[in-house]
Amino acid sequence: MSDENKIDTIGLSRRKMLAGLGAVGIASAGAGLGTTAYFSDEEGFEGNTLTAGNLDLLVDWQQTYDFGEGHQFVSAHPDHDGDGEQSVEIDGEVLRYSDFPDEEDEDSNGANIPDLDCAAIPPLSEANFNVDPVTGEEMETLVQLTDVKPGDSGEITFSLHLCDNPGYIWIQADNVSDEGGAGTEPELIVDPDNMGDLGDAIRATLWYDEDCDNVYDGAEPVDIMLTLDFSGSMLYNQYGGVVSNDTIQINGATYGETTKIDLVELGTRQFVDYLQSQGSDVQVGVAYFDGEGSNDTEPRTGVLQPLTADLSVVDGALSGLRQKLANLVTGGPGSTPFDGDGNPNPFSNASGIATGTYIGEGVDDAQDELAANGRPNAEKRNIVLSDGESFNGTGSTQFSSPTAAADDARAASPAPATDVYTINVDGSASTLQAMAGPAGGSGGDSAYFNDVDDPLNIPTVFGNLAAQTGQEKIIMEDSLGNVLDALADGNGVPLDGNRATPYDELGDPADDSNRDAFRGDGVMHCVALSWELPFEVGNEVQGDTLGFDLGFYTEQERHNDGSGPTPA
């Protein structure tokens, strides 16, 4: 067997790391599986970091129970004071899970701390798996259900941070124990063999918790503007627009090289296609921004597509962005994206084009469109992508401050208050990060900022934003026993790094072309499992107990196809 296919095991004692993600996360709770086939001879486990080559997966979580009296904290990581609520001290400031509720969702009980990243998540050696909330004894497994009564429920959300290199991730279950416990007389009448019945009786949902708020979110009406950088550096090679000499196919169009604007077209059209496939209650429009016009007196910005619920029209507006950008940048005097007079060859001479990038004016145009044509009952979002800082170029006009434009967009006045999401593509991140934040909130919110070092990750970013816009994707909804069976089978359930692609985690093969690897830049992705014992359950579950561990397996995207390890 070659080194590429060799699978080593990692000997993690449940008593050393106490089950739970049994070493949470990373190698599959106590199961001792490897992290990657290709780097199996280089793997090592230190703290909360499983390293194989440069493949690191960090995991944090929050678990709650509800015994009919509201949510109670059970266990979390990190949990700096050991009270069961996720908390961490960063630069002298204590951040807590309960500081991040979803104010628009009355069922929300918080959110995994968004400031946690590859640099801030403590090692698992500091994890506190806490005690069973019923018995008060040390938890033997991450999830431990004892003395469960009809109507009781619970939930656990994990946030995953894949650091360094892109990789495929599976979620797994292990150490499943469904026991009959001490048989009571009422139970033995209906269950004389005193079997473990909790797994079959409890209903469970496994889903991608896109906003990490520990609550499943259905579809809500949203009006969205995609505000896109149409500057020359998104296309022309002499300004860094060419990403690679690999061909790229976008809805039937094939180009001999890959540029930033090609990846934007691919990502935005996937974004729109996903929303359409989900039947999302959305309106979508497109704004653009470049530098100054031919007379160097005014910015070249505008609305490429007004807000509309007809997503096929939006898809058409987003087609051929290479040509539309070229029309604006290298067309004749006064050209617009629709004129058809630009040179879309990324290797052509683009000298003399305007060098300014008017992000602020682009945001203003998008906000004007939301104000004019947005729906009064819909949430507002402005997704701004750029590969550089906003500056004045060579002309005489004064540009609008992009941070001030974003502040106005987020503010309640002038209406409408808008969530501002920003995407920095291998440029200077400080301005775009300062712009990002929720409606009514301040800028600089990391949960609304995407820093893309590799432009090839642009489609994945738009996929994740699409998944946050529509209803959250359910992976499996069944009895808890059946969910655990699926998680414990083989490599577990393969997760999709881009939920905008049509991938079925349970029905499609792990190496399906629509399953994407997770980006390797530490972006937070959340996966959640909730459970509830229905009120109509009878005496057969009295005294029964159920415990299990959850974990994750990852292998590097490079040199692997996502099919998982080959058994020795």
Around Cβ 103, how many Cβ atoms within 10 Å? 8
Distance, CA of 58 to CA of 77 (rounded, Å): 11
Residue 326 is classified by DSSP as H
**Least confident stretch, 48-57, 59-68, 326-335, 487-496:** 48-57
- Are the CB atoms for 160 and 554 separated by under 8 Å? no
- DSSP letters along 449-483, please? EEEESSGGGHHHHHHHHHHHHSPPPEEEEEEHHHH
Predicted pLDDT of residue 195:
54
- Return the HEC string of 362-418: HHHHHHHHHHHHCCCCCEEEEEEEECCCCECCCCCCCCCCHHHHHHHHHCCCCCCCC
Distance, CA of 350 to CA of 172 (rounded, Å): 52
Relative to beta strand 521-532, strand 93-96 is: unpaired
Residue (of 70, 189, 203, 66) closest to 538 by Cα position? 189
In residues, how long is the chain? 568
> Can you tell me which residue has the tokens 């800028």?
443
3-state DSSP assignment of residue 485? helix
E strand segments, 8-54: 44-46, 49-51
Where are the chain's structural domains?
A: 57-217+472-556, 222-468
Which amino acid, 337?
P
3-state DSSP assignment of residue 516? coil
Phi, then psi, of 71 in degrees rounded to 5: -70, 135
- Are the CB atoms for 261 and 322 separated by under 8 Å? yes
pLDDT tens column, 352-372: 787 678 999 999 999 999 999
pLDDT tens column, 387-413: 977 776 656 667 888 999 999 999 988
Beta bridge partners of 283: 223
pLDDT tens column, 293-351: 766 677 889 999 999 999 999 999 999 999 999 999 998 778 899 988 899 999 999 88
**pLDDT(51) > 80:** no
Relative to beta strand 222-229, strand 379-386 is: parallel
Number of helices (H) and strands (E) in the chain: give both, helices first.
11, 24
Which amino acid, 395?
G
Residue (of 563, 566, 537, 557) closest to 186 by Cα position? 537
- Are the CB atoms for 190 and 537 separated by under 8 Å? no
Predicted pLDDT of residue 55:
62
Distance, CA of 422 to CA of 435 (rounded, Å): 7
Residue (of 351, 316, 322, 350) closest to 337 by Cα position? 322
Residue (of 551, 562, 494) closest to 31 by Cα position? 551
pLDDT tens column, 219-229: 789 999 999 99
Relative to beta strand 49-51, strand 44-46 is: antiparallel
Burial of 396 (0-12, 13-18, 19+ CB in 10 A): exposed
| Helix spans in 179-319 (H) | 185-190, 198-201, 260-277, 311-317
- For the record, the structure tokens of 363 come out as 């945001």
**pLDDT(211) > 90:** no
Mean pLDDT of the chain: 82
**pLDDT(191) > 90:** no
- For the record, the structure tokens of 119 come out as 């640099």
Predicted pLDDT of residue 322:
96
**Least confident stretch, 193-207, 255-269, 319-333:** 193-207
> Can you tell me which residue has the tokens 């007196």?
297
> Can you tell me which residue has the tokens 């000997």?
11
Q: How far is CA 565 from CA 26, 349, 407, 484, in A?
A: 15, 48, 48, 20
3-state DSSP assignment of residue 219? coil
Q: How far is CA 36 from CA 56, 168, 555, in A?
A: 11, 9, 4
- For the record, the structure tokens of 320 come out as 């051929």
Distance, CA of 306 to CA of 324 (rounded, Å): 16
- DSSP letters along 268-288, please? HHHHHHHHHHTT--EEEEEEE
Residue (of 546, 477, 483) closest to 216 by Cα position? 477
- Are the CB atoms for 146 and 135 separated by under 8 Å? yes
pLDDT tens column, 447-482: 899 999 899 999 999 998 998 888 889 999 999 999
Give me the helix-helix angle, 260-277 and 458-469, nearest 10°.
20
Please, which pLDDT band fits residue 566 given cuts at 50, 70 and 90? low
Distance, CA of 32 to CA of 34 (rounded, Å): 7
**pLDDT(177) > 90:** no
Residue (of 512, 509, 504) closest to 475 by Cα position? 504
Predicted pLDDT of residue 392:
61
Fold of 222-468: Rossmann fold (3.40.50)
Q: How far is CA 86 from CA 113, 214, 394, in A?
A: 8, 12, 50
Phi, then psi, of 341 in degrees rounded to 5: -110, 10
Please indicate whether residue 210 or residue 34 has the higher confidence score (pLDDT).
210
3-state DSSP assignment of residue 323? helix
**End-to-end CA gap in the chain:** 8
CA dihedral 202, 471, 87, 103 (to 10 degrees): -110
Half-sphere exposure of 326 (CA within 13 A, CB side): 21
- Are the CB atoms for 139 and 18 separated by under 8 Å? yes
